[in-house]
Structures are given as C-alpha cells and as structure tokens.
Amino acid sequence: MELLEQIVRAGVVGLGGAGFPTGKKLDCRVEWLIVNGAECEPLLRTDRYLMRHNAGRVVRAAGAVARMVGAKHCVIALKRAYTEEWKALEAALVGEGTVPIELFPLDSFYPAGDEQVLVYEVTERVVPPAGIPLDVGAVVSNLATMNAISDAMDGIPLTKKYITVTGEVKRPTIVRAPVGTSFEECIRLAGGSKEERYCVIDGGPMMGKVMGYEEAREAAVTKTTSGIIVLDEDHYLSVLSKTPVGRMKRLASAACIQCSYCTQLCPRNLLGHPLEPHKIMRRFAAGGDIPSLLDDPAVRQAAICCQCGVCEQYACPMGLTPRRINALIRDEMRKAGIPYERREALWEADPERRNRKLPTKRAAARSGVLDYYDFEIDTLAEAAPSTVRISLRQNMGAPAQPVVQEGDRVREGQLIARCPEGKLGADIHAGIGGVVTKVTDYIVIEARG
Ligand code: SF4
Ligand code: SF4
C-alpha cells in the first residue's frame, strides 16, 4: 500500500494542535520537509520524550515522507538546548541514510514551533500573510505526527496519544492514553491533583484552552490533546480566560497607553506581516461594537493573528487582551463572510526580529507557571481505561460519521467512524476493545469481557 493511503487509513491528523488531516497535508510535492520538534509551549514535554525514546521511528517516518513528497531538504528542527534528544536523533540518523536528514538547531524562544515562524527560521522564506508553508515550497509536520506515521507504516491506526500531565499533580509524567480516556484518569496516573478543586489547561499555557473544574472532569482525550496542565482553580490564566468582552473593552478604553509593545513583540508582525495589534486596540477602545469596526483595514488584520498570546501574556504592561479581541474580530469576519484580502508585496522579516524573540522561560514566568518549568519528565504511564468516550469531532474539517451502533462489539483498532465522502476529515478507530454503549456526538465503548 502507498504511504499516503496508509496515513489516511490510519486516521492520522496533525498532533501539534490544529488536527489538520495529515493525508491531505502531505499530498503535495515540496522542496522542504520540516519536522517540527520545537515543542515551544513552556511546560509540554511530549515531543522531547518521543525524541529520546522513539527517535528511530520518527527518523524512519521522516525519511519515508521526504521521499513521498520529493523533498530536496528534510530537517528535524529542535532546540539546541535539547542535548539528550539531539544525541538520540543523531544516533537514529546513522541508520537511515537513504534520504539526507539534518537536525536544525533552534533558540529557546516562543513561539519557535509556530509553522510560519519555523519555516522562516529554517528556510529564511516568509510565508505570506494568511498563507501556508506550501506557498514557499515547504511542508511542516509535527514530530508526534511522524511517530503516528511510523505506526501507520506498520498498519497501526492512531488510537493512542502521548500526553504531558503536569502542574499541580503529584508525579508529573507522560501518559499514553487511548483516545477517549477521561482527563481524570490521566491526572490519576500522574499521582492525582494536589488541589481539591482545580482548573486544567488542555494544551500549553500560552495557547491551550482553560477548562474549569466541572468541564475538566467531563473532558476526554482527543487526537489533538498534547498536554493536561493542572493549576489552582483561581490561577491567573483561569481568571484571564474568563474576562468578559465588556470588561475587555472598558479596560482597553481606560488603560491602553498605545505603547505598541504588543505590535513590537508580535511574532507575525516580526515576520513582516501587516498585523498591528496596538492599532486594533485603539479602534476597539474608541467604541462601537465589533461588527461596526470591520470596515477598518487595520482591524481586519486580526484575521492573520495566530493566537500565540505573546501580546497579552507577555508584552502588554497593562494586562490587556489583544489576542482575545483579535479572536472575536476574526469570528465576526467569518460570520459576516468577509475574506482576508492580502495585498501584493514582497514579504520580508523585520531586521529587529532576532532581538525580539521571547525566551521560553520568561514566557513561563509571565504566565505564572514557572514553578513547573524545570520538571524533568521521563516516566511513561500507560492508561488502561474501562470506558472511553470518543468525540466524532477530532480534527479540522468535517466530523466523522459512525459506522457502529449501540450493542456492537468492537476490537481495539477497529474503524468506528469514517470521514464523510469527499470531505476534509479523518477516520476514527477504537482505542480499546469492548461494547459500544452509546452513539451520539460521541461513541462510548465499555471494556466488557
Ligand atoms: S496573539 Fe498577539 S502576538 Fe500573537 S500573533 Fe496575535 S496579535 Fe500577534
Ligand atoms: S501593549 Fe497593551 S497598552 Fe501597549 S498598545 Fe498594546 S494593548 Fe495597548
């Protein structure tokens, strides 16, 4: 079977966060294949674990994908500070040989793993605003995705996730969990929460989704879950995530001093993109509801914000929320059917960019998670849940359609939901064997003997 078909059949999606179907992304011919091992979110350790323990599998998949897409250059990009990981990958490269794969050293800055930032670091080419790496001859795939592709090459579908479970837990660890495992079970495998009531960040502290206690207790692992960070229920990030729009506006009017630090440190602005959050804040603070601001070309640039959070969790001295305001504007543009219009230009990075990179540790400090930054996490806990609740919305594009019904007995790895014909999406397979007890937006499987 062709590699692309193996990837599609295994239901592989991008495991770096967005969940774009990998079979679709890699159906291309490119000059550069970049494997993203930056893992730039301050507390996540999953990709580093995979580099140390699964380097051979990652390198094998990278070589196979590089051949498939016809890449002249194949690089695995990782921080130069990851010495153990560097050694493990170098050792694995010795055996590969058929496609030259290079390791590319990155500084320890955030967001080194942002696709457009990474492409610039490696190739010195600027992906145009609202563009994709393919526009400059590159494709970027996350390192954990390569691990999943290696499984796909062995006929193993994507049903298990490696997840960093850290923060206010007793034993921070990597958990390998079937998709659909409850967050509670993952936290239990990390020794349990130190807090009676807590909030959870699904992902990293800069870009992850903050969940309150009740929501976290209902949450289950999806293909895109990369981190479960347990924090005090009243942590700064929890409070920030709950700021209502009205309060954001009042704060912007009262406190935005137009210092433009948010723009000066914005990673997309530093790539030369015309995104200037301080101008958006000026318009937002001046009044009017969001739909009334959409005629302003400066406001429309919110569409090219990557939601990295540098502006609000690091740059703004007044504690304002340009990232969240950009997200609201982008939603309104989508609702109103307003497309992003890119002017023709030669895109060049700001010459100051090199001096304005945000050190990852400072990002952790400003986000209030420095206490967990230096955790060495090198243990693996295997989850063996008795029940899984598998969402049919696991990826970018259309939700999968169930091909099982209540009462069916399924085995681990069996196809349980299929990508709708002709749509962007991915198949879903059972993470455990058992009996299907519910089919709604979720498929529930109980591991009965
Ligand atoms: S979140 Fe802020 S810093 Fe990041 S891209 Fe958007 S405007 Fe720029
Ligand atoms: S950094 Fe904060 S205060 Fe300064 S312009 Fe941006 S939003 Fe306003």
CATH classification of the domain holding 207: 3.10.20.600
**Cα–ligand 1 centroid distance for 267 (angstroms):** 7
User: Are 215 and 94 in a shared domain?
Assistant: no
- How many whole angstroms from 263 Cα to the centroid of ligand 2? 8
Ligand 1 binding pocket includes 278 (Cβ within 6 Å):
no
Q: Does any domain span residue 240? A: no
Q: How confident is the model at residue 288 (pLDDT cuts 50, 70, 90)?
A: confident
Rounded Cα distance between 125 and 132, Å, is 12
Four-residue CA torsion sign, 343, 345, 347, 348:
negative
**Domain stops at, among 153, 175, 202:** 153
Residue 64 and residue 127 in one domain: yes
446 and 326: one domain? no
Q: Are residues 9 and 144 in the same domain?
A: yes
Residue 269 phi/psi, 5-degree rounding, is -60, -40
What is the CA(111)–ligand 2 centre distance, in A? 20
Judge if 81 and 93 occupy the same domain: yes
User: Are both 231 and 373 inside the same structural domain?
Assistant: yes
Say if residue 137 is in the same domain as residue 211.
no
Strand partners, 444: 389, 438
CATH assignment at residue 96: 3.40.50.11540
Mean pLDDT of the chain: 94
Indicate whether this model's pTM tops 0.85.
Answer: yes
Annotate 231-242 with DSSP letters as a single string: EETT-HHHHHHT
Claim to verify: residue 111 and residue 138 sit in the same structural domain: yes
Residue nearest to atom 4 of ligand 1 (CA): 308
Q: How far is the CA of 309 from the centre of ligand 1 (A)?
A: 6
pLDDT 10s digits, 326-379: 999 999 999 999 999 888 888 999 999 999 999 999 999 999 999 999 998 999
Whether the predicted pLDDT of 104 surpasses 70: yes
Same domain? 166 vs 218: yes
- Same domain membership, residue 339 and residue 220: no
The neighbouring-strand residues paired with 109 are 359
Instruction: Please identify, among 128, 153, 178, the residue that sits at the C-terminal boundary of a domain.
Output: 153
Query: Which residues, at least 6 apart from 331, have a Cβ–Cβ distance to it below 8 Å?
Result: none
Tell me, letter by letter, the H, E, C secondary structure of 20-76.
CEHHHHCCCCCCEEEEEECCCCCCCCHHHHHHHHCHHHHHHHHHHHHHHHCCCEEEE
Q: Same structural domain for residues 20 and 125?
A: yes
Q: Which range of residues forms the domain containing residue 188?
A: 159-235+368-385
- Considering 138, 153, 168, which residue would you say is the last residue of a domain? 153
Give, for ligand 2, the residue of 243, 256, 264 to mutate: max count of ligand atoms closer than 8 Å to Cβ: 256
- By most ligand atoms within 8 Å of CB, the mutation choice from 253, 259, 269 for ligand 2 is 259
Q: Which atom of ligand 2 is nearest to the CA of 260?
A: 5
125: helix, strand or coil: coil
C-alpha distances out from residue 255 to 247, 248, 282, 298, 382, Å = 12, 10, 11, 20, 48
> For residue 383, what pLDDT band results from cuts at 50, 70 and 90?
very high
Choosing from 250, 282, 318, 324 the residue with most ligand 2 atoms within 8 A of its CB, the one to mutate for a pocket test is 318
Q: How far is CA 6 from CA 150, 182, 239, in A?
A: 10, 28, 44
Nearest bound ligand to CA 255?
2
Query: What is the position in ligand 2's atom list of the atom closest to the CA of 259?
Result: 4
Residue 58: phi and psi, rounded to 5, are -65, -45
> How many domains would you assign to the chain?
4
Q: List the beta bridge partners of residue 373.
A: none
Distance, in Å, from the CA atom of 330 to the CA atom of 336, rounded to the nearest integer, reads 10
| Partners of 181 in beta bridges | none
- Condensed to tens digits (0 to 9), the pLDDT of residues 202-233 reads 999 999 999 999 999 999 999 999 999 999 99
Q: Which atom of ligand 1 is nearest to the CA of 323?
A: 1
Same domain, 117 and 192: no
Residue 301 CA to ligand 1 centre (angstroms): 11
